[in-house]
Amino acid sequence: MGYNPLLSTSGPVVATLDRWIWNGLAIPPDYRTKDWFLMESPGYISILVLFMYLPFCTRVGPWLMRDRKPFDLRNTIIFYNFTQVIFSAFIFYEGLQGGWANGYDWTCQPMDPSTSPTAMRMARAVWLYFICKLVDLLDTVFFVLRKKNNQVSFLHLYHHVSMVGISWGGTRYMPGGHGTMLGLLNSFVHVVMYTYYMLSAFGPHMQKYLWWKRYLTRMQMIQFMMVLVHTLLILQPSCTYPKVAFIFLAPNTLIFFYLFNDFYQQAYRKPSQANGKVSNGVHTNGTNGVHKNGTNGVHQNGNSYMISACYSPNSKLD
CA-wise closest residue to 82 among 246, 310, 307, 267: 307
Residue tagged active-site, from 156, 159, 230, 283: 159
| DSSP H helices in the chain | 12-25, 43-48, 54-55, 61-65, 74-95, 117-135, 138-145, 154-173, 181-200, 214-232, 244-264
Strand partners, 278: 283
Element (H, E) at 3: none
Residue 294's contacts (CB-CB under 8 Å, 6 or more residues apart) are: 150, 314, 315, 316
Asked if 159 is an active-site residue, the reply is: yes
Using CA atoms, how far apart are residues 72 and 298, in angstroms rounded to an integer?
10
CA-wise closest residue to 204 among 70, 76, 74: 74
Using CA atoms, how far apart are residues 278 and 276, in angstroms rounded to an integer?
7
So which residues are the catalytic ones? 159
